[in-house]
């Protein structure tokens, strides 16, 4: 909204300084500062409101050190993240941008799914919350919206520059062509690192149905990463910290992908208008850091599914929007490993129960962070080490820009 206001003031009245809102860097900085300010000023009020509504977390005794001391800590703190994210984006971003609209829908959609789960647990005394199948239906629905939008919206395109043409009057002129409804994506660690989904089934599927394959992949990614963030949210500061690191990585990739000069220098896909995602990522980082003020050990509030499902959903959609979804196994490695630890634990337990008559376990407890808690490592140390791993994965992700 502020973008349009200052753009109008600049064009109509030529007010000094109004044109600064044209710069992505300035708006990203403003979004970050405002996001931190909202979290810091409103966070305490939201926590007190949750306490008054008796939204304390019910703790199931799993035999973890310090676990029962957290009983009664307010949950549904994801509202702090949502408010700190959405308000700056609405103020500083171009709301006509297809990627911003898609991410606003994603944040509200996944936050809504998480809210229903938390609401049923707290207000309806349903300890299991929203049934898993309904969560999946919601995530599949979002995947359909994202996949179809990125496949058919005319504002979704990539720009390919041809060889420069020399002109005595104009100097060096670069010609380009826009590819509407692109079917290509980025493959890491490969020299010519673009992959076309049309070739995925060796030409068996007609080209006009490529969107079906892409949408199925989008559904899988959104579901996996959203649930991965949800599972990672098990100890104080873990999910918010890891998500902030991933968002910073995505913000850098979005800036490079949306900048003509940097994208050509790095020989990566140039995606017009994707630079606007930097504002969203900046607000996302501010929201995560601001939430950590209250969620760091010992936590004053838990984000609940309202926050964790939203974090994963937004990360997945940003990666899809900038055509970097195949970097997710590296960038979101912690979410994937946490997810895999649960799948492996459950699968192995069921297999050994059928074969030997009693279930056996790979880990002392899943997800993986609880395994380390069972080994007697303090949760603050576990979180710090997971953050360090997240930073290493972020560096490796950015290194793929040159390591081919």
Q: Is 305 annotated as a binding residue?
A: yes
Per-residue buried b or exposed e for 221-259, using 16+ beta carbons within 10 Å of the residue's own CB: bbbbbbbbbbbbbbbbbbbbbbbbbbbbbbbbbbbbbbb
267 is in an annotated binding site: no
Q: Are 314 and 105 in contact (CB under 8 A)?
A: no
Place of tokens 């994210």: 85
Question: At what angle are helices 132-152 and 210-232 packed, to 10 degrees?
Answer: 140
The three-state secondary structure class of 397 is: helix
Q: Phi, psi (5° rounding) for residue 213?
A: -60, -45
CA distances from 369 to 2, 173, 306 (A): 42, 55, 21
- Helix ranges restricted to H, 193-276: 210-232, 238-257, 260-265
150 vs 143: CA distance, rounded Å: 10
Other CB atoms within 10 Å distance of the CB of residue 83: 18
Binding site for Mg(2+), by residue number, is 230, 305
**Binding site residue list:** 230, 305
């Amino acid at each position: 909204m502020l973008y349009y206001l200052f753009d109008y003031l600049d064009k109509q009245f030529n007010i000094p300084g109004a044109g600064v809102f044209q710069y992505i860097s300035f708006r990203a900085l403003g979004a970050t500062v405002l996001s931190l300010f909202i979290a810091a000023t409103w966070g305490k009020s939201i926590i007190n409101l949750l306490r008054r509504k008796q939204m304390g977390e019910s703790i199931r005794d799993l035999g973890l050190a310090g676990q029962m001391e957290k009983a009664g800590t307010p949950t549904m703190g994801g509202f702090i993240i949502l408010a700190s994210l959405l308000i700056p984006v609405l103020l500083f971003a171009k709301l006509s941008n297809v990627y911003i609209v898609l991410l606003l829908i994603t944040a509200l959609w996944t936050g809504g799914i998480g809210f229903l789960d938390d609401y049923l647990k707290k207000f309806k005394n349903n300890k299991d919350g929203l049934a898993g199948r309904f969560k999946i239906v919601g995530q599949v629905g979002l995947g359909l919206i994202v996949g179809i939008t990125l496949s058919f919206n005319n504002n979704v395109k990539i720009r390919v520059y041809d060889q420069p043409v020399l002109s005595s009057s104009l100097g060096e002129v670069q010609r380009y062509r826009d590819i509407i409804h692109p079917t290509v994506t980025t493959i890491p660690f490969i020299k010519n690192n673009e992959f076309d989904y049309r070739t995925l089934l060796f030409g068996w599927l007609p080209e006009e149905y490529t969107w079906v394959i892409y949408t199925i992949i989008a559904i899988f990614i959104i579901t996996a990463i959203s649930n991965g963030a949800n599972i990672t949210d098990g100890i104080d500061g873990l999910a918010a910290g890891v998500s902030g690191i991933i968002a910073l990585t995505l913000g850098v990739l979005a800036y490079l992908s949306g900048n003509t000069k940097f994208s050509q220098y790095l020989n990566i896909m140039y995606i017009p208008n994707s630079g606007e995602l930097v504002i969203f990522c900046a607000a996302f980082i501010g929201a995560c850091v601001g939430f950590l003020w209250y969620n760091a050990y010992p936590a004053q509030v838990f984000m609940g599914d309202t926050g964790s499902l939203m974090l994963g959903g937004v990360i997945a959609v940003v990666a899809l929007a900038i055509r970097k979804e195949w970097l997710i196994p590296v960038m979101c490695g912690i979410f994937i490993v946490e997810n895999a630890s649960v799948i492996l634990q459950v699968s192995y337990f069921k297999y050994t129960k059928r074969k030997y008559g009693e279930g056996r376990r790979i880990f002392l407890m899943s997800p993986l962070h609880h395994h380390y808690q069972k080994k007697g490592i303090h949760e603050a140390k576990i979180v710090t080490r997971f953050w360090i791993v997240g930073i290493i994965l972020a560096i490796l992700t950015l290194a793929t820009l040159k390591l081919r």
